[in-house]
Each structure stands twice: as structure tokens, then as C-alpha cells.
Amino acid sequence: MEMYETLGKVGEGSYGTVMKCKHKNTGQIVAIKIFYEKPEKSVNKIALREIKFLKQFRHENLVNLIEVFRQKKKIHLVFEFIDHTVLDELQHYCHGLESRRLRKYLFQILRAVDYLHSNNIIHRDIKPENILVSQSGITKLCDFGFARTLAAPGDVYTDYVATRWYRAPELVLKDTSYGKPVDIWALGCMIIEMATGNPFLPSSSDLDLLHKIVSKVGNLTPHLQNIFSKNPIFTGVVLPQVQHTRNARKKYPKLNGLLADIVHACLQIDPAERMSSPELLHHEYFTRDGFIEKFIPELRAKLLQEARVNSFIRPKTYCKENEFKDDERKIVYNNTLLSSSFWGKEMEKEKKPKEIKVRVIKVKGGKGDISELKKTEYEVEHCRQDGMEDAHAVSEDTRPASSEPASPVNSSTDSSGMKEDAQSGGYMTMPPINPACGNLMTANLNSNLSHPNPRIQEMHRLKGRGTCQM
């Protein structure tokens, strides 16, 4: 951390604190997620899971991991800094986001989900605070602590702690055969919240959530009802049987017609009936008025602009054999704007990007100013292109960027393969997001306790942001 100046605290999660920091040599602004040093193994497990996913999966609408190190036994993940989250915007626009902005955000969020799903990854914690938004309006899904590969048939998912309000009925009931549709459910809940400013299913217990699901969405399927009846926790509890209209627009009268349709397609009690991400991307909500044709070039321009800005501020890089070398990452770039099946082109898998080798210097602890410096730019619909918030390092060279070699002293590698280094710290290689990874680019190129939002109040009440052990 001594290579970084701490500018403030931007987030506090169940597993760590996220600090806004500035690289002392390059001026690059980053977000450093410092995992708590907890005795429970779960923190390490979650950190390592997040690292694993972020190293492997890169996409313009996923947050970009720059480097990883461990200091004083705490795992540190260094990310590009992204200006704010969708939750921040909802705190500002408490009646929800303006419809044009909403559609642009949802399109990008769905691209990220579609990218993950096409690689058989489920995120499992989609919610407004995990959607980062850059100053120019690019959204990036973050927090991969719960992401995992789809289980093989018969496999059981374990150790899963998720945010309750966005949990699909099959998750609440601990059906062990859930899959991608859990992300689609969470998306449905989040769309309502983004459109109205209010969480759709705020709940203080699993039973409370189930009650709300049944009253606001639909009755349990026979399969889920069966699981419910057999669960000793719910012994003696009878859920109401509610008559629901099949008409999406009557069911969600606060949403405009097509948005109600898309929400209805996401919020089906039976996971098999929920729309898939490619279907959602083709939904009329996105295709009408030539939205996609107009938005793609706009998004492309923003991404190029950000890549250009970031190429000037990329960190000084160091070339050295590194601890993650044996990791043999296969960066998966398919399903980006340029190459996805969605756009009718062949999937572009495992395209090897140019690598940037980064050395991380071992640091002594140091207290920075942790005053809240979070800056938000809500009033700008898009395009403050001079922003520096998005600081991933994009290499335009054909060879790996390199400079001084690292000089590890007293280094050791722990069982996780992460360098724990008394003097020099661990170092690793992170490939940049390849600006040519998709058609898009190659084509040319904190909450207030007193907040009126019950969601925020609930987050404080639950301390763990509405999380619950499954």
C-alpha cells in the first residue's frame, strides 16, 4: 500500500473495505478492496474466488482487476476506480432513474450477465451496489465473491451467503439445483428498484421474503411448495394462495409497458420460465426505436475514450516472472459487443491479450485520510470524457510493457499461491482488457442512516446489507 496514497473510503462490504487510492508514481486512481482478516476461512475463500473469476473473465461491462497483493495477511485487490454505483444514483433519484438512462444501464448490465452466463458463470449477487457506473455512463458489474461455475448435474452449491432481497424463490428454499435464472430474478428485482427508487422485495427474514414473493409475484410451483413443506424451519407455516393477473402491465402498473413486460419475463416463480439473457437482450424494450443501433456507437465511443484516457495513466509496469504465471489464465472475451453470438458473429474465445506485468511493492501500513470523498456526477446524462475514474491499464504495445525488475526479498508463497512478502510484496500479471476484444472496439477503434429509502435503512439495520447465510 505504500505505493498508494489513500484518498478515502468508498465502500464497506461484508468481507472488506474498499478504499479510493492514488498510485504515487503514475497518479492512477484505483479502488483497493482490502479483505478483513477474519479467522473464518470464508473470507479467504471469497477473496480467492473473486480473484479467480476476475483474472479469467474480462469484459467492458465487468470491473477490471489491476493487481493483487497481500499485506499484513490481508488480501488486497486493486481495481480500476469507477465513479459511483447504481445504489448511489438511487439515493439521489429516489423516484428512480430517468427512462433513457435506465435503458442504457440495463442494456449494459445485461451484456455483462449474458457474457457470464454464456461462459456458464452465475454471479449470484446482482444488486444496485454491485453495479458501478463511470462518469461517462459505462456500467460495470463488480463483486465476484459469490460467482461460480454452474454446478454439474447432481452437484450441490454450498457456502453461499447472498443478499436476501434479490434472492430467487429457489434460493430462499435452498433448492440445490438452481442456475442462471437466479441472476435473472435478481435482475428483475433490481430493474423495479432502478425504475421506481424502491426495493421490490425488502425483507427481514426468509419467511418474510417468501411471503412477499407469493403476494407480489406468484404462488410457489408444486416443486418449490414441496421443498417448503418439508423444511422444518417452516413447519406449521402456510403461505397464502394469491390470485395474480397474468397481465404484466396490470401487475406492475408503475412501470412503463415494455419495462413491465421485461420485469415480468424475469420474475417468474418457475426458473425455467424466466427469460434467458440473450432473449432479454432481444426484448422489444431494447430493440424498439432503433435503440441498440444508436447506443452501440455511443458506447463504443465512450469505451474508446476511456481506453485512451487510461492509456496515459497506466501504471509503471514491471516485467518479472510472477506468482500467477502457472495460473495459465484463459481470458475469455466472448460475448463482448463485437463478437457475441448476440451480434451474429462467431464467439471469440480465449483471445490472448497482451499482458502487462505488474510488480506490487510490499507496503507498511499507513493511514490515509478516510474522509468521504466520493464524487458523483448524477446530473450529466453521459460523456464527461475527461474523467479519470476508469483507470484500467490498456496496453497498446505488441510486447509486454516492462521496466524495472522486481527485487523480492524474503518472499514466500502461501498455499493459495499468493505471494506473502515481508519486504517486497507479491506481484502478479494482469492482462488488460483488450480494446480489440469485441466488435465494439475493433470497429474503430454510502449510505445515510436517515435516508428515506427503506432499503438503506434496512441495510443499516442488518449491518450486513441484507445478507443472510444459506
Active site residues: 125
| Residue 412 burial by Cβ neighbours in a 10 Å radius (0-12, 13-18, 19+) | exposed
- Shortest distance in whole angstroms from residue 132 CB to ligand ADP: 5
Other C-beta atoms closer than 10 Å to the C-beta of 421 total 23
Question: Which residue's C-alpha cell is 419467511?
Answer: 207
Rounded to the nearest 10 degrees, what angle do helices 99-118 and 181-196 cross at? 170
Closer by beta carbon to ligand ADP, 115 or else 146: 146
222 contacts: CB under 8 Å, gap ≥ 6: none
Q: Which of 57, 79, 115, 286 binds ligand ADP (CB under 6 A)?
A: 79
What is the distance, to the nearest Å, from the Cα of residue 230 to the centroid of all Cα atoms in its chain?
34
Rounded Cα distance, 189 and 347, in Å? 30
DSSP 261: H
The yes or no reply on residue 33 touching ligand ADP (CB under 6 A) is yes
Based on the shown chain and the rule CB under 6 A, indicate whether residue 353 belongs to the binding site for ligand ADP.
no
**Segment contacting ligand ADP (CB under 6 A): 6-14, 51-59, 287-295, 424-432?**
6-14
Q: Please choose, out of 13-21, 246-254, 301-309, 451-459, the segment that lies near ligand ADP by the rule CB under 6 A.
A: 13-21
Applying CB under 6 A, does 390 fall inside the site for ligand ADP?
no
Binding segment toward ligand ADP, per CB under 6 A, in 79-87, 219-227, 276-284, 452-460: 79-87
Task: Indicate whether 14 belongs to the interface with ligand ADP (CB under 6 A).
Answer: yes
Contacts (CB under 6 A) with ligand ADP, residues 113-132: 129-130, 132
CA dihedral 219, 223, 226, 228 (to 10 degrees): -60
Q: In this structure, what C-alpha cell is assigned to residue 27?
A: 497518479
Smallest distance from ligand ADP to CB 124, Å: 12
Check residue 18 for interaction with ligand ADP (CB under 6 A).
Answer: yes
- Nearest-approach distance from CB 125 to ligand ADP, in angstroms: 8
Are 135 and 323 a contacting pair, CB within 8 Å? Answer: no
Cβ 110 to ligand ADP shortest distance, Å: 19
- Closest contact distance (angstroms) between CB of 18 and ligand ADP is 3
- For 158, 176, 212, the CA distances from 229, given in Å and listed in that order, are 21, 16, 17
> How many chain residues interact with ligand ADP (CB under 6 A)?
21
Using the rule CB under 6 A, which residue among 11, 96, 426, 438 binds ligand ADP? 11
CB of 9 to ligand ADP, least distance (A): 9
- Residue number with the shortest CB distance to ligand ADP? 13
333, 59 in Cβ contact below 8 A? Answer: yes
31, 168, 356, 437: which one contacts ligand ADP (CB under 6 A)? 31
Of 78-86, 180-188, 202-210, 287-295, the window that binds ligand ADP (rule: CB under 6 A) is 78-86
* Pair 251, 269: CB distance under 8 Å: no
**Bridging pattern class, strands 139-141 and 356-359:** unpaired
The answer to whether 140 and 123 have CB atoms below 8 angstroms apart is no
Residue 36: which residues within 8 A CB-CB, separation 6 or more? 15, 16, 17, 43, 74
Q: Which of 1, 4, 7, 15 binds ligand ADP (CB under 6 A)?
A: 15
CB of 79 to ligand ADP, least distance (A): 4
Residue ranges in 136-155 that form contacts with ligand ADP under rule CB under 6 A: 142-143, 145
What SS3 state is found at 419? strand
Q: Which helix (H) or strand (E) holds 69?
A: strand 65-71
Binding range to ligand ADP, per CB under 6 A, among 8-16, 103-111, 239-247, 346-354: 8-16
Contact between 405 and 319 under an 8 Å Cβ cutoff? The reply is yes
Position 63 contacts ligand ADP (CB under 6 A): yes
Q: Which of 4, 57, 81, 333 binds ligand ADP (CB under 6 A)?
A: 81
C-alpha cell at 427: 506481484
- Which residues are at the interface with ligand ADP (CB under 6 A)? 10-11, 13-16, 18, 31, 33, 63, 79-82, 85, 129-130, 132, 142-143, 145
